[in-house]
Amino acid sequence: MLMDAGDVDREGMSKNAPLRLLDPRPDASRRAGEWIVDYIRHFAPTGQPVRLDYAVISHFHSDHFGHLSPTNPRSTTDSFRLTGIMDVAEAIPIGTLIDRAAPEYRAPVDLKACPDGMRGALAKYFKLVDSRIAHGQAVEGLQPGRTDQIILRNEPNAYANFSIRNVAASGVLWTGRGSTTFRYIPSDAVHDCNFNENPFSLAIKLSYGSFDYYAGGDLTGASDSDQPYWLDVETPVGRAVGPVDVMTLNHHGNRDATTANFLRTLQPRVIVQQSWVSDQPGGEVVHRMTSQSIYPGPRDIFATGIRPETRIAIGPWMERAYSSFDGHVVVRVAAGGNSYQVFVLDDMTRDRNVKRVFGPYAAN
């Protein structure tokens, strides 16, 4: 599920899959994090306490863990201010909080020595981390290559063909073979707090039967001649991941990601864009997503919230390319993992009624 809650990305799978929070609508009466909580409570399995097995923060930009202002209320323990993931953690128990750099937070530099990161929001996130550790609650860094870090907690033996492969985190990438990894971004590539956080995003590949799904935060792919090669993280990540059925756009569809080579390698049947500002997607990204020269065959593109001015600027060919421009996007995989459907839910009311259904698609 990819939720439109404003500027905090939220992803999840429910029922027997682990619940993951990777991530405001319908109105401004609540903070984005509060709307995420409301959504989780709405669709959580009945007859059991509402909780998240895992919450995953792809990287340390505030549109992924929560914007902060001096007016935000404090938590009940007075340990941190409430926004984004902090709102969620305050309202719903989280089994394990996972980010790209725990527990040391020294990749690529000592992040705790960067107090002004995201105008101070990162320091507030660390207060959540410190509070969890003080209360004996798990905080982990994603470990590339593994399939045993994010696992099923409910009836795992009934879903032996389900797995989540950790692909990338903090510049360390899975090779695509076994559980082996390598350091792609050199350990000495960054020397101070003024660096591009996006290429250090974590990435995962979810597999169930024949179905495969990719999500990679704000990973970058474009590396111009005047920039270091390692800004193109998409190429080695794509080689490791291979073809998938569904992918979310890296970096919200911004111009520095979702390269032709990446699309040619993954060849998704369904593409989902998590968008929240008017420069998402870049017009050239729309061209690449729709190009039959990059990879052949049909593809459906869904967005959680394209701005009206974006549709006007890019024009009719965007109107023809997208199957949906707004709403919560739910990907439901059938038992066994051989097919899946896409549901678009109304994001303007708390009822969250189904607006449109697409598929079923055959999983490949």
Q: Which amino acid is at 166?
A: N
Tens of pLDDT, residues 100-132: 999 999 999 999 998 666 557 788 899 999 999
- Distances, alpha carbon 109 to alpha carbons 28, 114, 145, 282, in Å: 36, 9, 22, 31
Instruction: Report pLDDT for 116.
Output: 65
User: pLDDT higher for 1 or 238?
Assistant: 238
Give the pLDDT mean for 89-102. Answer: 97
Give the pLDDT mean for 32-39. Answer: 91
Token reading at 283: 């017009």
Ranges 12-16, 46-50, 280-284: which has the least confidence: 12-16
Ranges 31-45, 76-90, 188-202, 320-334: which has the least confidence: 76-90
Ranges 4-8, 40-44, 179-183, 306-310: which has the least confidence: 4-8
pLDDT at 182 over 80: yes
Give the pLDDT mean for 173-187. Answer: 98
Give the pLDDT mean for 342-358. Answer: 96
- Taking the C-alpha atoms of residue 248 and residue 158, their distance in angstroms, rounded to an integer, is 27
Share of the chain above pLDDT 70, in %: 91
pLDDT at 224 over 80: no
Give the pLDDT mean for 314-318. Answer: 92
Please state, rounded to an integer, the average pLDDT across all residues of the chain: 91
Give the pLDDT mean for 341-355. Answer: 95
pLDDT at 229 over 80: yes
Give the pLDDT mean for 295-313. Answer: 96
The residues, any chain, with a CB within 8 Å of residue 301's CB and separated by 6 or more, are 270, 271, 272, 273, 289, 290, 321, 322, 323
User: pLDDT higher for 86 or 142?
Assistant: 142
Instruction: Report pLDDT for 5.
Output: 59
- Under the banding of pLDDT at 50, 70 and 90, the label for residue 301 is very high
Instruction: Report pLDDT for 2.
Output: 66
- Taking the C-alpha atoms of residue 166 and residue 149, their distance in angstroms, rounded to an integer, is 8
Give the pLDDT mean for 179-204. Answer: 97
Instruction: Report pLDDT for 65.
Output: 87
Instruction: Report pLDDT for 115.
Output: 67
- Under the banding of pLDDT at 50, 70 and 90, the label for residue 79 is confident
Tens of pLDDT, residues 238-278: 999 999 999 999 999 999 999 999 999 999 999 999 988 89
pLDDT at 11 over 60: no
User: pLDDT higher for 364 or 115?
Assistant: 364
Q: In the chain, what are the domain boundaries?
A: 32-362
Give the pLDDT mean for 21-50. Answer: 84
pLDDT at 6 over 60: no
**Topology (CATH) of 32-362:** Metallo-beta-lactamase; Chain A (3.60.15)
For residue 281, is the peptide bond before it cis, meaning its omega torsion is within 30 degrees of 0? yes
Nearest Cα neighbor of 66 from 107, 15, 21 is 21
Most confident of 73-77, 110-114, 196-200: 196-200
